[in-house]
Structure 1
Amino acid sequence: MAYQNILVPVDGSDTSFAAVKQAAELAKVFGSKITVVQVLALDPYIAAEYITAAQTNDLIERARSSIEGTLQDAKAKFSAEGLNVETRLLEGQMIHQEIINAAKEINADLIVIGSHGRTGLKKFFLGSVAQKILGETSVPVLVVRQ
C-alpha cells in the first residue's frame, strides 16, 4: 500500500520529532504529501471571548506563536530530508478530535504520531492523544515511541 497523504501531529517534544523522522522516511519511499499539524487547545473558560467575539487574548497569542515555532521546526526537519510539507495550526477543545478532523479534511491515508508511552496513573490522568485517535479513526495510525 502506498501512502499518498500523511498527517503528522506534533507537540514540540522529542517524541513528536521522532514521528517526524519516521514520516519523512515513509514519504521518501512512497512520494507522499506531508501535512504537519499542531493543536492549540482552547479552554472554554479562558478563551470564551476569543472564541465567540474574535477578540485577542495575550495567553492565546503567546501559545499561537509558540506553536508556529514548533511547526516551523518540524518543517525544517522535513526540508533537511528534501521534503516539502504543509503546516497547519488547528484550534479546538479536544486535541484528538481536531487531529481526526484534519485527517478527514486532507484525505490522509496514514497518521504518524509520537507517543510518550505513559502507563498506569499517568495515562489515566494525562490521557493519551494517540490512544484516543486509535480508538476513534478508521485511518491507519503509526505510533512512534522514542
Structure 2
Amino acid sequence: MAFQHILVPIDGSETAYAAFDKAAEFAKAFNSKITLVQVLTLDPYIAAEYITAAQTNQLIERARSSILKTLAEATDRLSAQGVHVDTQLLEGQVIYTEIIKAAKNLNADLIVIGSHGRTGLKKFFLGSVAQSILGETDIPVLVVRK
C-alpha cells in the first residue's frame, strides 16, 4: 500500500519530531506529500468573542504566533530532507476532533502521530490524543513512541 498524503500532527515536542522524522521516511519511500498540522485549542470562555465576533485576543494571538513558528521550523526541517510539506493551523476545542476532520478534508491516507506512552493515572488525567484518534478514525494511524 502506497501512501500519497500523510498528515502529521505536531506540538513542538521531541515526541512530535520523532513522528515527523518517521513520516519523512515514509514520504521519501512512497513519494508522498506531508501536511503538518497543529491545533490552537480555543477555550470557549476565553475565546467567545474571538469566535463569534472576530475580535482579537492577545492570548490567542500569542498562541497563534507560537504555533506558526513551530510549523515554520518543522517545515524547514522537512524541506531540508527533500520532502514536500504543507502546513495548517487548526482551531477548535477538541484536539483529536480537529486532527481527524483535517485528515478527512485533506484526503490523507495515513496519520503519523507521536505518543508519550503515558499509562495509568498520567494517561487518565492527561488523556491521549493518539489514543482518541485511533478510536475515532478509519484512516490508518502510525503511532511513534519516543
Give the TM interval when normalised to the shorter protein: over 0.9
> Which residue of the partner structure matches residue 78 of structure 2?
78
DSSP-derived class of the 1:81 partner? coil
DSSP-derived class of the 2:39 partner? strand
Q: Distance in 1 between matches of 2:55 and 2:4?
A: 38
> Which residue of the partner structure matches residue 12 of structure 1?
12
TM-score normalised per structure 2: 0.99
* Cα shift at 1:116: 0.7
Corresponding position: 1:41 with 2:41:
yes
DSSP-derived class of the 1:139 partner? coil
Q: Distance in 1 between matches of 2:84 and 2:133?
A: 25
Q: Partner letter of residue 121 of structure 2?
A: L
Confirm or deny: 8 A CA contact 1:20 1:77 kept in the other structure. no
Q: 1:86-125 alignment to 2 at 5 Å?
A: 86-125=86-125
> Which residue of the partner structure matches residue 64 of structure 2?
64
DSSP-derived class of the 2:99 partner? helix
Q: Deviation digits for residues 33-67 of structure 1, max 9, x if unmatched?
A: 11000000000011010001000000000000000
Q: Partner letter of residue 97 of structure 2?
A: Q
* Cα shift at 1:135: 0.1
Number of equivalenced pairs: 146
* Cα shift at 1:84: 2.0
Q: Distance in 2 between matches of 1:102 and 1:77?
A: 22
DSSP-derived class of the 1:39 partner? strand
Q: Deviation digits for residues 105-138 of structure 1, max 9, x if unmatched?
A: 0101100000011111110011000000000000
The sequence identity of aligned pairs, in percent, is 74
DSSP-derived class of the 1:107 partner? coil
**Ranges of 4+ aligned residues in structure 1 off by more than 3 Å:** none
DSSP-derived class of the 1:87 partner? strand
Q: Distance in 1 between matches of 2:11 and 2:19?
A: 11
Q: Deviation digits for residues 65-87 of structure 1, max 9, x if unmatched?
A: 00001101110111111112000
DSSP-derived class of the 2:55 partner? coil
**Alignment gaps of 5+ in structure 2:** none
TM-score normalised per structure 1: 0.99
DSSP-derived class of the 2:143 partner? strand
